[in-house]
């Protein structure tokens, strides 16, 4: 699935520093790798080791063809564009790397880092969503405006942003590829949001595909609907019996009746509490 920008960096951010990120007049410097630090606005959280190793082998054979872009920060240089090349250069045991030094504000640096990564095709769905969220918050775009600027549909943007409402541990499962974006979107349909992590773990354990997960979510939501149906008011005799049973067992007891059947629920809060109740019922071996 291609994620390239529809109108390019210049169309999206027509500022001089961004339009002229790299020109024929640029001075390419050799910078010590020890002086380089990662871009704090880097949207990419995961770097595949195999891809970095492959790039490192290419660098050993052909050198670094395209310089990275950095900005001066104190005695160090922050990487604006080219962190993969920087990591691969370290792996290739280089001491220096060709770089173009740019004077950029933090806003411009963030914009460039996000846009450069959005033009690549290997961002995870979570990283892509976080990039969109950063652009919306920093530049005050609506989802509609951002979609138009990037040449995407609004549902495409919205579906990615919705992933950010997943619990952190489930977001990480999507980020590492253990769950697909389809799994993540389907999990958001669960009515009982507190069970999302539990269900996500079940998906991984049993290798459920998205269609199977949809069926499971439907079943769980139907159970929630039944549980939240308006309770029938209990008659005075049932309430009195519940009170007697609560006093007898020393815990909460509920009597639930339907048209043709009923059940008694006795709550316990620990293994010891369960053993105590079983002793009362004389069921403990």
The last residue of one of the domains, among 62, 90, 120, is 120
CA 121 from chain centre, in angstroms, equals 17
pLDDT digits (tens, 9 = 90+) for 116-146: 767 665 678 998 898 888 888 877 788 888 8
Q: 3-class DSSP state for residue 138?
A: helix
78 & 31 share domain: yes
CA 32 from chain centre, in angstroms, equals 34
CA distance 110 to 107: 5
107 & 163 share domain: no
Would 98 be classed as within a structural domain? yes
The last residue of one of the domains, among 179, 204, 224, is 224
pLDDT digits (tens, 9 = 90+) for 176-204: 999 999 999 999 999 899 999 999 999 99
Would 126 be classed as within a structural domain? no
Judge whether residue 12 has pLDDT over 50: no
218 & 154 share domain: yes
Would 134 be classed as within a structural domain? no
83 is catalytic: yes
pLDDT digits (tens, 9 = 90+) for 54-73: 888 988 888 888 898 888 88
Q: Which of 16, 48, 83, 144 is catalytic?
A: 83
**Which domain CATH number covers 150?**
1.10.10.2830
* pTM score: 0.54
269 & 213 share domain: no
266 & 201 share domain: no
CA distance 157 to 155: 5
CA distance 57 to 267: 63
Domain residues for the domain of 185 are 139-224
The last residue of one of the domains, among 68, 92, 120, is 120
């Amino acid at each position: 699935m291609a994620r390239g920008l529809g109108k390019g960096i210049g169309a999206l951010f027509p500022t001089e520093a961004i339009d002229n990120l790299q020109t024929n007049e640029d001075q390419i410097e050799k910078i010590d790798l020890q002086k380089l630090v990662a871009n704090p606005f880097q949207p990419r959280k995961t770097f595949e080791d195999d891809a970095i190793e492959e790039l490192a082998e290419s660098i050993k054979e052909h050198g670094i063809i395209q310089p990275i872009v950095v900005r001066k920060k104190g005695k160090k240089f922050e990487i604006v564009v080219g962190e993969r090349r920087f990591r691969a250069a370290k792996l290739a045991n280089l001491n220096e790397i060709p770089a173009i030094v740019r004077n950029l504000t933090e806003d411009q640096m963030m914009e460039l880092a996000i846009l450069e990564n959005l033009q690549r095709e290997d961002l995870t769905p979570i990283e892509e969503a976080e990039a969109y969220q950063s652009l919306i918050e920093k530049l005050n775009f609506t989802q509609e405006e951002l979609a138009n600027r990037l040449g995407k549909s609004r549902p495409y943007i919205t579906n990615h942003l919705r992933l950010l409402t997943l619990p952190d541990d489930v977001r990480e499962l999507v980020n590492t590829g253990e769950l697909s974006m389809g799994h993540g979107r389907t999990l958001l349909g669960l009515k009982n949001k507190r069970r999302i992590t539990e269900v996500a773990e079940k998906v991984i354990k049993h290798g459920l595909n998205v269609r199977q997960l949809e069926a499971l979510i439907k079943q769980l939501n139907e159970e929630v609907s039944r549980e939240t149906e308006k309770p029938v008011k209990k008659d005075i005799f049932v309430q009195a019996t519940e009170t007697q049973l609560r006093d007898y067992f020393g815990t909460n007891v509920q009597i639930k009746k339907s048209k043709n059947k009923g059940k008694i629920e006795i709550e316990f809060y620990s293994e010891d509490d369960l053993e105590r109740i079983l002793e009362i019922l004389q069921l403990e071996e």
